């Protein structure tokens, strides 16, 4: 049984409603949020968590469903952020036409790069996707024609953006928009997982030769999964631009892809809700550990403790290693084992085999 089926749909819907009314409540989580949930600072952090949760969902579609280990997924996140930013700054388009054109351009880029990358598999596939992402990163940093802002990044041109989505005073609206992006991303990934294309891609993940022997087309299925994942990542990039009022070259670099991979592994590969939890948890840890690193309490520690604790990435890296070594199924896999429902796709061979058989049966014409 898939981990994502543990949480009933009704409970998920109730949780979304709770998140939707959260800005209207005064809930304080000391040490986690910088203030009550109705304050702009807390809403900004929560919205950022949702942006990365939707990005983690898109990557989990590639890795968890299609078995595609991509090192260039940040390229499509950057396409969304920079694409919308450039269109708003250099054209007279309003937000929604620019948004549609951005997703169209990101989809075309995903089709082209995916069609090339999927000609190979395994590590060569990862390296080809990395090459595309690095090419995008170099292009952004060189700032051709002054389009991308170079190392300084690109600021949001607010004159073509509705006032309700601009400024600290409207952080609540941006929070709700980020929540909508997560819901859309989840529903699209759920639809993909349950579609015939998703079943073919999942079956090819386990045994591509057998899928071919049945007369199915694993290349086409994996390309569709790749493109849909890229479009969701681009949607997340668009939301990132609006939330941060700009974007920076890191949003295209391979290091962001590695960060998203950590989120997915932390939450549990193959689990939709696990990807969301991993994205939220990693973002919170990254933000709070950065503050902890500069605190007087850490500064006063002996050097043997001060040095590692002053580097948030060291702590997050150590956490990732511990999860891989001792909790291979991530948070979702651990929760499933505690409830007696098996592990995630990366956790148990028996369940993977059963999933493969079922995917093949459902994928047959």
Q: Is the pLDDT of residue 304 over 80?
A: no
**pLDDT at residue 3, rounded to an integer:** 45
Calculate mean pLDDT across residues 234-241: 97
Q: Could you give the percent of the chain with pLDDT greater than 70?
A: 87
In a domain, 142, yes or no: yes
Considering only 10-14, 86-90, 232-236, 276-280, which range has the smallest mean pLDDT? 10-14
State which residues form the domain around 135.
16-363
Calculate mean pLDDT across residues 63-84: 95
In a domain, 125, yes or no: yes
Considering only 42-51, 75-84, 209-218, which range has the smallest mean pLDDT? 209-218
Considering only 124-133, 238-247, 248-257, which range has the smallest mean pLDDT? 248-257
Q: Could you give the percent of the chain with pLDDT greater than 90?
A: 56
Averaged confidence pLDDT in the chain: 86
Distances (CA, A) of 327 to 76, 263, 266, 332, 344: 30, 14, 9, 10, 11
DSSP class per residue in 117-143: HTTS-HHHHHHHHHHHHHHHHHHHHH-
**pLDDT at residue 355, rounded to an integer:** 53
How many contiguous H segments (helices) and E segments (strands) does the chain have?
A: 15, 2
In a domain, 8, yes or no: no
Q: How far is 363 from 194, CA to CA, in rounded Å?
A: 10
**pLDDT at residue 1, rounded to an integer:** 42
Q: How far is 161 from 156, CA to CA, in rounded Å?
A: 9
Calculate mean pLDDT across residues 179-186: 96
Q: Is the pLDDT of residue 336 over 60?
A: yes
Calculate mean pLDDT across residues 259-282: 92
| Ramachandran quadrant class, 326 (left: phi over 0; alpha: psi -120 to 50; beta: rest) | alpha
Q: pTM for the whole thing?
A: 0.88
**pLDDT at residue 364, rounded to an integer:** 58
Q: How far is 116 from 330, CA to CA, in rounded Å?
A: 31
In a domain, 9, yes or no: no
Calculate mean pLDDT across residues 309-335: 81
**pLDDT at residue 314, rounded to an integer:** 77
Calculate mean pLDDT across residues 230-256: 92
How many domains is the chain built from? 1
Greater confidence, 302 or 167?
A: 167
**pLDDT at residue 182, rounded to an integer:** 96
Q: Is the pLDDT of residue 167 over 60?
A: yes
Q: What is the CATH number of the domain that holds 160?
A: 1.10.3470
In a domain, 2, yes or no: no
Q: Is the pLDDT of residue 4 over 80?
A: no
In a domain, 3, yes or no: no
In a domain, 81, yes or no: yes
**pLDDT at residue 295, rounded to an integer:** 67
DSSP 195: S
In a domain, 11, yes or no: no
> Can you give the length of the chain in residues?
365
């Amino acid at each position: 049984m898939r981990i994502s089926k543990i949480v009933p749909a009704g409970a998920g819907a109730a949780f979304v409603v709770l998140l939707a009314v959260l800005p209207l409540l005064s809930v304080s989580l000391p040490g986690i949020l910088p203030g009550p949930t109705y304050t702009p600072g807390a809403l900004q952090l929560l919205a950022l968590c949702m942006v990365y949760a939707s990005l983690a969902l898109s990557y989990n579609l590639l890795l968890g469903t299609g078995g595609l280990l991509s090192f260039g997924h940040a390229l499509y996140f950057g396409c969304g952020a920079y694409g919308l930013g450039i269109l708003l700054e250099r054209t007279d388009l309003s937000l929604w036409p620019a948004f549609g054109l951005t997703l169209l351009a990101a989809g075309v880029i995903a089709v082209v790069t995916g069609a090339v990358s999927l000609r190979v598999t395994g590590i060569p596939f990862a390296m080809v996707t990395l090459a595309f992402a690095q090419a995008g990163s170099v292009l952004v940093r060189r700032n051709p024609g002054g389009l991308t802002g170079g190392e300084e990044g690109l600021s949001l041109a607010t004159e073509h953006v509705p006032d309700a989505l601009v400024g600290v005073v409207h952080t609540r609206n941006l929070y709700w928009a980020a929540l909508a992006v997560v819901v859309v991303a989840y529903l699209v990934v759920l639809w993909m997982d349950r579609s015939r294309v998703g079943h073919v891609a999942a079956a090819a993940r386990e045994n591509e030769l057998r899928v071919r022997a049945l007369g199915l087309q694993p290349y086409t299925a994996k390309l569709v999964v790749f493109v849909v994942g890229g479009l969701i990542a681009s949607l997340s990039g668009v939301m990132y631009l609006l939330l941060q009022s700009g974007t920076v070259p890191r949003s295209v670099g391979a290091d962001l892809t590695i960060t998203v991979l950590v989120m997915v592994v932390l939450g549990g590969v193959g689990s939709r809700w696990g990807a969301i939890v991993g994205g939220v948890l990693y973002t919170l840890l990254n933000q709070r550990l950065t503050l902890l690193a500069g605190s007087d309490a850490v500064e006063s520690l002996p050097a043997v403790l001060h040095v590692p604790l002053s580097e948030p990435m060291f702590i997050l890296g150590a956490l990732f290693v511990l999860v891989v070594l001792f909790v291979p199924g991530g948070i979702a896999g651990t929760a499933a084992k505690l409830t007696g429902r098996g592990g995630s796709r990366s956790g148990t061979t028996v369940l993977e085999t059963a999933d493969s058989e079922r995917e093949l049966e459902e994928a047959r014409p």
